[in-house]
Structure 1
Amino acid sequence: MPLAAHASHGAFDPGVLPRHVAEAVWRGSELGDSVSRTVPSGFTELDSELPGGGWPTHSLTELLMPQAALCEWRLLGRAIPSFLSSGGRVYLIAPPKQPHAGGLEQLGLSADQVVWVHASTPVDRLWATEQIVKSDPAGAVLSWLPQARPEQIRRLQIHAQSCDAPVFLFRPVAALNDTSPAPLRVAVALAKGWQLQIRIPKRRGASLDEALYLAAMPENLESVLPPRLKTVPARSAALSREEASDARALGRVAPHSTTSQPVSH
């Protein structure tokens, strides 16, 4: 029977597809699957919102935040064992603070598993990131590129498609005003207590506009803090401790100890 005839009798619904067709079609309003291997983030709630259930490989992930050196390690620290499950290293390209070996060791990342690339100009940062991604390293690539342009990110995304390590670009949240070729964009901010506030403005599927709150107290503090400090109601009080936690890994806090030497290049 012609299609029009079906419609005239109320039998045709353009929103209903035959089962074998529906199973092969991905709707843009649904959370898509990752087209490559993914690495668990360490947060069950976040993994359920990431395509494929974790941080993607063979692709770029943009992490956007109001200020550098506040949320990076709180968000990615739990994924370090997964990053290094098959060997390799974590590559830090132009971090805003000098990496502190003692702080990274508390996250389970020893000095010999870190490659710190010091690059002061935007051109050098971009070049170093591109060369490392093109080399297809084992581990993970973390690059701070606040001034990267869309065409430069597009080139990195092309190279990342051949890279089996997760590649993270840290950029200011103001970059959300610009388009980006990165398939996954995650906005991260500090929240009350020890929480992180997460939004996913771009992913394969509908964006996550409603805030997701992750309990992200560093494990090394959870065992020593008294209960009253584990649930700090005032954001200002929590901020100072959260800043100290991430700053220790990025070098802002460097107590005198035998592990206070900077990570070697």
Structure 2
Amino acid sequence: MAGKTETLTGLLDRDPRIWRGRRPGTWRAPVIPSGHAALDAVLPAGGWPAGALTEIITPAQGIGELRLLLPLMRRIAGDGRRLVWVAPPFEPYAPALVQAGVEIGRMLVVAVADRRRDLGWTLELLLRHPETGLVLAWPWTLPPSVWRRLQLAAAESGALGMLFTDGAAGGTTAALRLSLGVCEGGLELRILKARGGFCGARVPLML
């Protein structure tokens, strides 16, 4: 019995995807720093989960959600990986992105004619592509089966998927789920779900 216990313990220690709820400090899954020290301090392992989906629930468009992700965009494009925008509600303003230090030569904007039929398929292909580092998408809502496929695609390639939604889907397979609210001088983030950590934290960010 002791031998079996040691074997199981070794397996748990070797696999960073396994989280033991009473030991949040053992979470070792790959992450990319968010560029915001206050946010990294409450995210498991200190950053955005790589090879996974993050769901960002926004009450309205244009409240600062893109400024939140500018450090991540700079890092992804600076590393030579592809930064893909899928069905954005507004055309990305290239001069502002350049001024913020984003290498737009690594950026791709994808329009989706039939969102109901093609959006999930498009996101899955992009997340699986080996050159993709980050996918930003505005699906608003997706069925659970599509969330599962997208999570598998991101895990396969190591890409990050940032999906902006209205929160109507409830439980999703996203590794990280957070909601945004406006506060004086910036945003307040509330962690609703964090794989490998505890939820409920509120983080004000001056952007």
For the aligned pair, the TM-score class normalised by the smaller chain equals: 0.7 to 0.9
- With over 3 angstroms needed to count, the CA separation of the structure-2 counterparts of 1:104 and 1:148, relative to structure 1, is same
Deviates more, 1:76-85 or 1:162-171: 76-85
Distance 1:86 1:80 in 2: 10
Gaps of 5+ in 1: 1-20, 217-265
Q: Higher Cα Rg: structure 1 or 2?
A: 1
Which residue in the other structure is 1:131 paired with?
125
**1:144-165, CA deviations, whole angstroms, 9 ceiling, x for partnerless residues?**
1112111110111111111222
* Distance (whole Å) between structure 2 residues aligned to residue 34 and residue 167 of structure 1: 20
| 1:170 counterpart residue number | 164
Alignment of 1:114-263 (within 5 A): 114-120=107-113, 121-175=115-169, 178-192=170-184, 194-216=185-207
What RMSD, in angstroms, separates the aligned Cα atoms of the two structures? 2.3
- For residues 129 and 103 of structure 1, do their structure 2 counterparts lie closer, same or farther at Cα, with a shift above 3 Å needed? same
CA distance 1:189–1:30, change in 2 (3 Å)? farther
* Equivalent residue, structure 2, for 1:60: 53
Identity %: 32
- Tell me by how many angstroms 1:33 deviates: 5.2
CA distance in 2, matches of 1:139, 1:26: 25
3-state DSSP of counterpart to 1:162: helix
Shift of 1:122: 2.8
Output one character per residue of 1:140-193: Cα deviation in whole Å (capped at 9) or x when no partner. Answer: 111111121111101111111112222111111344xx211112111112211x
Q: Are the counterparts in 1 of residues 140 and 164 from structure 2 also a CA contact under 8 Å?
A: yes
**1:18-37 residue pairs with structure 2 within 5 A?**
27-31=20-24, 34-37=27-30
Query: Which moved further from structure 2: 155-164 or 25-34?
Result: 25-34
Greater strand fraction, Structure 1 or Structure 2: 2
Q: Give the Cα–Cα distance (whole angstroms) in 2 for the partners of residues 214 and 152 of structure 1.
A: 31
Write the distance in 2 (CA, Å) between the matches of 1:33 and 1:144: 33
Classify the secondary structure of the residue corresponding to 2:147: helix
TM-superposed deviation, 1:38 = 1.2
Question: 3-state DSSP class of the match of 2:97?
Answer: helix
Q: Which amino acid aligns with 1:213?
A: P
- Deviations along 1:69-88, one digit per CA (max 9) or x if unpaired, are 33321210122232234212
Could you say which residue in structure 1 is the equivalent of 2:96?
103
* CA apart distance, 1:99: 1.3
Q: Distance in 2 between matches of 1:33 and 1:186?
A: 22
Q: C-alpha offsets along residues 78-125 of structure 1, whole Å, 9 cap, x if unaligned?
A: 222322342122100000111121122122124322100011423222
Task: State the one-letter code of the partner of 1:59.
Answer: A
- Normalization by structure 1: what TM-score? 0.66
Distance 1:26 1:147 in 2: 28
Structure 2 contact 77–102 (Cα < 8 Å) conserved: no
State the partner residue of 2:43: 50
Tell me which residue corresponds to 1:233: none
CA distance in 2, matches of 1:26, 1:158: 18
Matched, 1:82 2:82: no
In structure 1, C-alpha distance between the alignment counterparts of 2:168 and 2:22, rounded to whole Å? 25
What amino acid maps onto 1:190 in structure 2? V
Structure-2 separation of matches of 1:110 and 1:27: 39
CA distance in 2, matches of 1:74, 1:186: 16
Letter aligned with residue 130 of structure 1: E
Gaps of 5+ in 2: 1-8
| Residues 85, 37 of structure 1: alpha-carbon distance in 2 compared, 3 angstrom cutoff | farther
